[in-house]
Amino acid sequence: MTIKIGNAPCSWGVEFADDPRNPAWQTVLDQCRDAGYRGIELGPVGFMPEDPSELGDALAARSLELIGGVVFRPFHDPAKWDDVKDGAVRTCAALKAHGAEHLVLIDSISPRRAPTAGRPEEAEKMSEAEWTVFRDRIRDIAKMARDDYGLTAAIHPHAAGFMDFEDEVERLLAEVDESILKICLDTGHSLYAGFDPVAFMDRHMDRISYMHFKDINPQVRASVVANRTDFYKACGDGIFCNLGRGAVDFPAVKARLETAGFSGWCTVEQDCDPEMAQSPLDDARENRSYLHSIGFEASA
């Protein structure tokens, strides 16, 4: 069993490819390497070059492997379906070109859900008709990724979208066959949503294909939930802290992975506001050091 630890552009504040506040993609690759990682996610498609030779050469020059990519698009919005499909196809093509495995599907933030992030008892639910179409969109993208690109697609619960809380995740898993859709469990987003990632792993370890390692500051979470703080402001407020400083029991997470014989990549994600991130390189180094201190091999 080999667990390898990578990182992702969101740890440098990169959430959207066209955000003028983003650091240069070369800087992200350089600092990921300098922090001791040997793998990195694609980030939002269009942030890194879509020319396979350009990105391939850049990765090889830094001894980095492309792990996977995220489709962070509004699966919940029928008017944005073409945008979702475009992001998915382009991401799948990029991952296949570089031999990456993991396609992560995230329903992006909805104004209908943002005020109740972290409040499952108050959150607006989809109608049955909305749910059926939403579920089928996720299933169809996951099936395309598997059948047309040879990728492993996984759903990623995320604060302030319509795939966030535990009951929603359980329903989706029950309604979409596991041969099509796996789980990317994010340790921080699960606690943000109010459910225990370790208990979730106990129930669904056989369906978890990929992990995002994120920690959450419980005091900041309590504040942003009470104040109905916008997700991105919560990131700026430091809701996602350095690994080992928050509420996630990473030794227990490691034990569950080892018991299950999990092999492959787990990726550090420390979502942050690009204007407020003080030193992503220092954070990346600290997170790698923490994981190494509890027995993870934090390099490929």
CATH number of residue 213's parent domain: 3.20.20.150
- Confidence band of 276 (pLDDT split at 50, 70, 90): low
Residue 192 lies in a domain: yes
Question: Residue 277 has what pLDDT?
Answer: 58
Are 103 and 87 in contact by the 8 Å Cβ rule? The answer is: no
Q: How many domains does the chain have?
A: 1
SS3 52: helix
Are 283 and 245 in contact by the 8 Å Cβ rule? The answer is: no
Domain span at residue 227 reads: 3-293
Q: Is the pLDDT of residue 241 over 80?
A: yes
Q: Is the pLDDT of residue 89 over 90?
A: yes
Question: Residue 271 has what pLDDT?
Answer: 86
Residue 271 lies in a domain: yes
Residue 298 lies in a domain: no
- Confidence band of 78 (pLDDT split at 50, 70, 90): very high
- Confidence band of 74 (pLDDT split at 50, 70, 90): very high
| Chain centroid to CA 16 | 14
Instruction: Go through the chain and tell me how many residues it has.
Output: 300
Are 155 and 184 in contact by the 8 Å Cβ rule? The answer is: yes
Are 154 and 210 in contact by the 8 Å Cβ rule? The answer is: yes
Q: Is the pLDDT of residue 300 over 70?
A: no
Q: What is the mean pLDDT of the chain?
A: 95
**248-266 b/e (C-beta count within 10 Å ≥ 16 → b):** bebeebbebbeeeebebbb
Question: Residue 213 has what pLDDT?
Answer: 98
SS3 63: coil
Task: Provide the strand spans (E) within the chain.
Answer: 3-7, 39-40, 65-66, 68-73, 102-107, 152-155, 182-186, 208-213, 264-268
